Structure 1
Amino acid sequence: MPVVITEHARKRLNQKRQENISTSDIIEAASGIPGHIPSATRFRGFVAKSGRVFDIVAKDIPGRRLVVTVIGK
C-alpha cells in the first residue's frame, strides 16, 4: 500500500525533536504496520536508521496509508 506523508508531518521533520528522522524511515515504519487502520491511531516505538526513536500517527484512506504526524523522542 502506498504511503502518503502530510505536509504537517514533513514540516515537523525540520524541528529539533524530529532531527535525524528521514522520510524513508517514516515510509518504512508505516508500511510495516499490518492490517487496516480505520481512524487516526498512534503507533509507538519505531527506530530511524540514525537510532532516533519516533512515533507516527497514521490512518488508511482509500488505496493509501496516510501519515498524519511524526513525534520524535
Structure 2
Amino acid sequence: MRIIITEHARKRLKDLRQDGISTADIINAAGNIPGRIPTATRFRGFFARSGRIFDLVAKDIPGGRLVITIIGK
C-alpha cells in the first residue's frame, strides 16, 4: 500500500515534541495498520526506532493511505 505523508505531518516532524521520529517510522507504522480506514482516525501507541512513542492520524484515499498528522508523546 502506498503511504502518503502530508506537508503538515512533515512540518510537525521538525518540532521538539516529535524529535526522534523519522519518516521511515511513520511509513512503517501506517503500513502496519490493518484493514481499511474510511474516516480520519487516530491510532495510538507506535514506537519509533529512537524509543519515542507517537500517535498518528490516518485515512485511506483512492491513492493510498494518507497520514494527516503525527503526535509525539
Task: State TM-score, norm by structure 1.
Answer: 0.99
Matches within 5 A, 1:25-36: 25-36=25-36
Shift of 1:63: 3.4
Overall identity of the aligned pairs, in %: 71
Q: Give the structure 1 partner of residue 2 of structure 2.
A: 2
Which ranges of structure 1 fall in alignment gaps of 5 or more residues? Answer: none
Q: Give the structure 2 partner of residue 45 of structure 1.
A: 45
- 1:55 pairs with 2:55: yes
Question: What secondary structure, in the 3-state scheme, does the structure 2 residue paired with 1:36 have?
Answer: coil
Distance 2:51 2:41 in 1: 23
Structure 1 outlier segments of 4+, above 2 Å? none
- 1:18 pairs with 2:35: no
Shift of 1:38: 0.1
Q: CA RMSD in A?
A: 0.4
Task: State TM-score, norm by structure 2.
Answer: 0.99
